[in-house]
Structure 1
Amino acid sequence: MHWLADFLAAVGVVLNGIPQGIMAMTLGFAVFPTMFSFIFAAGVNGLFGSVAPISFQAESLALTGNLGKNPRERTSIIFGGSLIMAFIGVSGMLTKIVAILGNSIMAAMMAGVGIMLAKIALSMYQDEKIVGASSIAIAILVYLFTKDLVWTITLSVIGSSLVAVFGIHYRAELPANVVERKFHFLKPVFSWRVVRGALSLACLNVGANISYGLITGQMTGIKPNPVNLNLLTSTQAFADMGTSLLGGAPVETIISATASAPEPVVAGIIMMLLMAVILLVGWLPKIGKYVPTASIAGFLLILGAVVIFPENAAAAMAGKNSVIPALTLVVTAIIDPFAGLLTGAVLKFILPLIGLGV
């Protein structure tokens, strides 16, 4: 019965990805070409036996949507970020970056991202108060009782969407480029906002690939950790690189319950192929018409303020000197992950030069 357990684990992760896929559509990303990212990653994982799948990730979507002002800028940010991550993955620099900066600075950056997500959730509430409030209330209650992110996102999105549909008669008209099953080439644009966004997205993915990738590997119970971080980074980068030119959404590293399945590689592949089928046949846009953007506010709040921030903030402040991690955290939360990591790196290497130590 291993196949049934693998399939159920895959379905659970798909349920987790659908609301975030809907979030991608509300930001103007075309989901039809994104199916190629899932197919590509499924093939790579099958070829190399990788247990770490990729999917829609709330953190990268929220960051890209916040830094890019329109779909063209957002896809350009993804393309630029994927170029950076491809270089990091192919060259094997991922673990070297962490070794240079240190775990405390990386953890501080991730904690700052947690605050960013909580701020975005509250901003969504301000834009759509009824939907946002119901999403946040349901998410808090579900997480308090279950401590499970899959149930939290599923019930908060469904519950707040029902409030929207039956309470305020919500029905969205998604842009044509989001729902149509065609391909449109989007030439990347170049601007300071796009460059900063690409660097920020790359910084976020460096932290996420290490933390989420290793956590997924730990869930398998296999020792040593079976996740090849450089392979994971390269897979995610090349998947994003191609589909971003067609207006597709980013797909990144996630903490995947498929890793706890009897056959984690098979379960991860099933999950990605199921997502590809959902995007191919056009089910996601049909669902998305009845799901407001603010329906994901509760999940973002829990993910940022309860899951990501406390653990990473504690790790960041665990050392003898907490000044640099603290500043990294604050700058990330106020500006973006690139500014946060840059602040941490500059302080780490400049302060000893002037005799202040680290």
Structure 2
Amino acid sequence: MHWLADFLAAVGVVLNGIPQGIMAMTLGFAVFPTTFSFAFASAVNGVFGSVAPISFQAESLALTGNLGETPRERTSIIFGGSLVMAVIGVTGTLTKIVAILGNGIMAGMMAGVGIMLAKIAVDMARKERISGLSSIGIAVLSYLVTKDLVWTIVLSVIGSSLIAVFGTHYRADLPEHVVERRLRFLKPVFSLKVVRGALSLACLNVGANISYGLITGQMTGIKPNPVNLNLLTGTQAFADMGTSLLGGAPVETIISATASAPEPVIAGIMMMLMMAVILLLGWLPKIGRYVPASSIAGFLLILGAVVIFPENAATAMQGNDNVIAALTLVITAIIDPFAGLMTGAILKFGLPLIGLGV
């Protein structure tokens, strides 16, 4: 009966990914080209036996939507960030970056991202009060009862969408480029905002790939940890690089319940192939017309304020560089992850040069 357990685990992660895929559409990303990201990653995982799948990730979507104003700026940020991550993955420097900066600074950056997500959730609720506030209310209650992110996102998205559809007769008219089942080349634009956004996204992915990737590996119960972080980084980078040029949505590292399945590699591949079929057949845009963008607000608030922030903030405050980590946290939350990480690096290596310690 292993196959049934693998299948159910894959379905659970697909249910978790669908609302975030809808979020990607509301930000102007085309979902049809993203089919190839899932197909590519499933092939890589099959060849190399990787247990860590990739999917839509709320953190990267929220950050990209916050840093870019137009779909073209956002896809350019994704493309630039994927170039940076490709270099990191191919050269195997991911773990070296963390070793140089230290866990405290990296955790401070991730904790700052948690605050950013919570703020984005509140802003969503302010713009669309009925669906946004109902999403937050349902998400808080769901998480208090279940302590499960999958149930939290499913119940809050479905519940707030039903309230919007039946309460306010909500129905979105998604842009043509989002729903069409064809490929369009989208030339990247270059600007200071795009460069900053790409570097910020890369900083977020450095932290997420290490933390989420290792957590997924731990869930398998296999020792030593079976996740190859460099392979995971390269897979995610090349998947994003190709689809971003076609206006597609980014797919990133996630904490995946498929890792706890009897056959974690097979379960992860099944999940990604299911997502590929959903996107290929155009089912996601049909669902997305009835799901407001703010329906994800509750999940973002719980993810940022309850899941990401406390654990990473605690880690950041434990080390010798706790003051620098705290400043990294604050700068990340106020500006962006790149500014936060650069602040931490400058303080850590710059202060000793002038005879100061923190």
**TM-score with structure 2 setting the length:** 1.00
Question: 1:21 maps to what in 2?
Answer: 21
Question: 2:348 maps to what in 1?
Answer: 348
Aligned-partner Cα distance in 2 for 1:102–1:357: 16
Structure 2 residue 98 is matched with structure 1 residue 98? yes
Query: Matched residue of 1:89: which SS?
Result: helix
Question: 1:2 maps to what in 2?
Answer: 2
Question: 1:219 maps to what in 2?
Answer: 219
Deviations 1:279-325 (A, max 9, x none): 00000000000000000000000000000000000000012342100
Mapping for residues 22-101 of structure 1, pairs under 5 Å: 22-101=22-101
Aligned-partner Cα distance in 1 for 2:184–2:67: 23
Aligned-partner Cα distance in 2 for 1:108–1:186: 35
Mapping for residues 146-157 of structure 1, pairs under 5 Å: 146-157=146-157
> Contact between 2:104 and 2:321, CA under 8 Å: does it hold in 1?
no
Aligned-partner Cα distance in 2 for 1:354–1:329: 23
Mapping for residues 179-258 of structure 1, pairs under 5 Å: 179-258=179-258
Question: 1:176 maps to what in 2?
Answer: 176
Aligned-partner Cα distance in 2 for 1:164–1:334: 31
Deviations 1:73-97 (A, max 9, x none): 0000000000000000000000000
Aligned-partner Cα distance in 1 for 2:128–2:253: 29
Question: 2:303 maps to what in 1?
Answer: 303
Query: Matched residue of 1:112: which SS?
Result: helix
Question: 1:286 maps to what in 2?
Answer: 286
How big is the shift at 1:218?
0.3
The aligned amino acid for 2:226 is P
> Contact between 2:85 and 2:237, CA under 8 Å: does it hold in 1?
yes
Moved over 2 A (4+): none
Structure 2 residue 334 is matched with structure 1 residue 334? yes
Deviations 1:186-233 (A, max 9, x none): 000000000000000000000000000000000000000000000000
Deviations 1:4-59 (A, max 9, x none): 00000000000000000000000000000000000000000000000000000000
Query: Matched residue of 1:189: which SS?
Result: coil
Unpaired runs of 5+ residues, structure 2, are: none
Q: Percent identity?
A: 85
The aligned amino acid for 2:164 is A
**TM-score with structure 1 setting the length:** 1.00
C-alpha change, 1:321 and 1:100, in structure 2 (3 Å) is closer
Query: Matched residue of 2:320: which SS?
Result: coil
Question: 2:162 maps to what in 1?
Answer: 162
Query: Matched residue of 2:249: which SS?
Result: coil
Aligned-partner Cα distance in 2 for 1:240–1:322: 34
Aligned-partner Cα distance in 1 for 2:326–2:97: 19
The aligned amino acid for 1:189 is V
| Superposition CA RMSD, Å | 0.5
The aligned amino acid for 2:75 is T
How big is the shift at 1:355?
1.6
Aligned-partner Cα distance in 1 for 2:263–2:3: 8
Question: 1:115 maps to what in 2?
Answer: 115
Q: Bigger shift: 312-321 or 213-222?
A: 312-321
How big is the shift at 1:354?
1.6
The aligned amino acid for 1:45 is N
The aligned amino acid for 1:137 is G
Deviations 1:250-274 (A, max 9, x none): 0000000000000000000000000
Aligned-partner Cα distance in 2 for 1:321–1:58: 29
> Contact between 2:105 and 2:321, CA under 8 Å: does it hold in 1?
no
Unpaired runs of 5+ residues, structure 1, are: none
Aligned length: 358
